[in-house]
């Protein structure tokens, strides 16, 4: 993006390859990344401050769809390799709030996850080395549909977050977790 000042009240903004006009929001430009939205706001004053730029970074949730009856679905999250220190990774579901998976200090903490996810979630064994924090959910049902967040903490400090919207679709999608338990 290039800014040019012309005269007392005109500022020309040239947006190049990395930023494109948002398809819905006028005056908003977004990056070409599929999961990041950058918004810019320009304010001109004639005093000491020539231009103030506000940049708002919004992460657009990844959408994952799977047919009911599939053996598994992966909620993707790839981040920096070689995460070090005391790392805690928590996959949570919202509405209703449920912990889907907890990984702390190199160990899965199955006792901390909600009962509907016990025996149904798997994470990469080398997740701290590879940076692949994806969660695999086995035997997904319509009741698993919803918004999931992966929160990453280092020594009690929040360092990363990913939001994934899961939609389980197909016939019999109203069975829920009660019938799912019969599969095990």
Q: pTM value?
A: 0.65
Give me the CATH code for the 62-183 domain, please.
Answer: 2.60.40.10
83 confidence band (pLDDT: 50, 70, 90): confident
3-state secondary structure of 39: strand
Work out the average pLDDT over 34-62: 58
Residue 45 tokens, joined: 């004053």
Residue 153, CA distances (Å) to 74, 84, 85, 158 in order: 21, 11, 10, 4
CATH 2.60.40.10 residue ranges of the chain are 62-183
Cis peptide before 96 (omega within 30 of 0): yes
* 126 has a pLDDT exceeding 80: yes
pLDDT of 135 reads 98
Residue 145, CA distances (Å) to 27, 68, 90, 101, 176 in order: 34, 10, 18, 16, 10
Gyration radius (Cα) of the chain, Å: 22
């Amino acid at each position: 993006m290039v800014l040019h000042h012309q005269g007392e009240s005109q500022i020309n903004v040239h947006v190049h390859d990395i930023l494109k006009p948002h398809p819905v929001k006028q005056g908003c430009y977004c990056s070409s990344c599929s999961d990041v939205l950058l918004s810019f706001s320009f304010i001109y004053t004639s005093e000491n401050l020539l231009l103030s730029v506000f940049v708002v970074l919004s992460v657009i949730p990844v959408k994952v769809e799977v047919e009911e009856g599939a053996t598994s679905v992966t909620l993707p999250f790839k981040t920096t390799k070689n995460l070090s220190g005391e790392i805690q990774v928590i996959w949570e579901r919202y509405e209703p709030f449920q912990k889907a998976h907890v990984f702390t200090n190199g160990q899965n903490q199955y006792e901390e996850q909600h009962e509907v996810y016990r025996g149904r979630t798997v994470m990469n064994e080398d997740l701290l080395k590879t940076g692949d924090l994806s969660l695999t959910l086995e035997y997904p049902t319509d009741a698993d549909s919803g918004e999931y967040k992966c929160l990453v903490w280092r020594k009690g400090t929040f360092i990363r977050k990913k939001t994934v919207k899961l939609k389980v679709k197909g016939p019999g999608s109203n069975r829920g977790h009660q019938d799912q338990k019969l599969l095990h």
